[in-house]
Copies of this chain bind each other. A is one copy, B any other.
Amino acid sequence: MSDKRDAMATTDARQEVVEKAQAAQAAAREMAALPTSAKDRALMEMAQALIERQHFVLEANSADVRAARDAGLSEALIDRLLLSEQRIAGMASSLREVTGLPDPVGEVIAGWRRPNGLQIDKVRVPLGVVGMIYESRPNVTVDATGLCIKSGNAVILRGGSEALRSNIALVRVIADAAYSAGVPEGAIQLIETADRAAAQQLMRMNRYVDVLIPRGGEGLIRAVVENATVPVIETGVGNCHVYVDETAPYDMAEEIVINAKCQRPGVCNACETLLVHQAIASDFLGLVGPRLIARGVEIRGCPRTREILPQAKEATEDDWGAEYLDLILAVRVVDDLEQALAHIARYGTRHSEAIVTREYECAQTFIERVDAAAVYVNASTRFTDGGEFGLGAEIGISTQKLHARGPMGLRELTTYKYVIRGAGQVRQ
């Protein structure tokens, strides 16, 4: 009996996804033609509605938080889930900020005339239907919806089950406001069933969904990459390095290492491994080590590091590959730039990598040889961020090479089409 009920629930879950994906695609066709002014008006209305109806949202969120506590979730997870008046105000203000960003749709990226007289224009258009699969933070629900609307896309949201009540409330508030303001009905879809079959179904809706963007931990992203047939943009996992070269100015290198590790350790562009040239290892680690430890950083070092910093724990192979997202730093003394490059090639996740150096040639070699979305010379890895790059809000940070790399803003939520205007040309 229970198996049968499960099977029925699964069928219902799949059906919900199919229906919502079809509705999203139908709405996407209209979204593509929506003028910027209408999109901006909708974003302002959504922001306003969030403020006006915040008690409705906070009530739903309280129920999620109670259930999470009952289920014994960690305080860190509950903090991610928790909404407050202040956090809702933050979401509203993000939506308003998106109205200030330029609309990417309709940009003529390139255009040229062919010898036969054909005029070929390459015109930016929305992707169509964007599927977001994410974990507990309910702000993703609002942020992603805002960016998708401004870029002319429909969105299908699949959040974490622990945030389901919050997400239902948030989507009701923002979708009501958006539709009243002229966004085509169906453009904002939330998968409301917690059944895993729903996510599986969403990952295989190639006919209706143009791209999937997973946001969350490594497990979530891996599951989407493994199971999706819809094209995926991999985001987020960042095992970032700072390499302090032989010629690095110590004070600059210290500030960069401390900033990259400590300014916000829980994010993907934080530094996880420090590589130090052997010629300066003793001096530099002697300076930066105590400062890191004083800030609560646990150091896990290679044997040479531990000779210099006896407080350091022993680093294992796992440490070189780890994305700690915490106040832990792996430290390795390397023979030279070549060994640093080899280490980064082997363990890096192609997110953000930095060198600190005075030498022109070392800087150039590092820039050319490191394969990552963002390569820094003499700056902290923490700048890999849509806002810091000046792109405005971001929907994620791509760590793959296809389509978009690094911070993805509005433009990265578009594709293009070729528009060819002729006067009866046929091919010879």
Which A residues fall within an 8 A CB radius of B? 29, 32-33, 112, 114, 118, 120, 125, 127-128, 206, 210-211, 225-226, 229, 231-233, 249, 252, 255-256, 258-260, 263, 345, 363, 367-369, 371-380, 382-384, 388-390, 400-403, 405-406, 415-427
Contact = CB atoms under 8 A, between A and B. Distances in A.
Contact of A373 (B32, B417, B421): B417
20 contacts: A118-B379, A128-B401, A210-B402, A231-B232, A231-B401, A231-B402, A252-B424, A256-B424, A259-B426, A263-B427, A372-B417, A374-B418, A375-B419, A377-B422, A378-B423, A379-B420, A379-B423, A379-B426, A380-B425, A382-B426
Given A112-B390, A263-B426, A426-B255, A29 B369 contact: yes
Nearest to A426: B259
A56 B125 CA distance: 49
B127 A401 contact: yes
Q: Which of A232, A368, A373 has the most CB of B within 10 A?
A: A368
A86 B226 CA distance: 44
A411 B380 CA distance: 30
A35 to B, nearest CB: 12
Please tell me how many copies of the chain the complex holds. Answer: 2
Nearest to A28: B371
Contacts of A33: 368-369
Contacts of A376: 420, 422
A427 B383 contact: yes
Of A232, A369, A418, the most chain B CB neighbours within 10 A belong to A418
Contacts of A421: 363, 377-379
A129 to B, nearest CB: 10
A345 B29 contact: yes
Nearest to A390: B114
B374 A417 contact: yes
A400 B403 CA distance: 11
A420 B231 contact: no
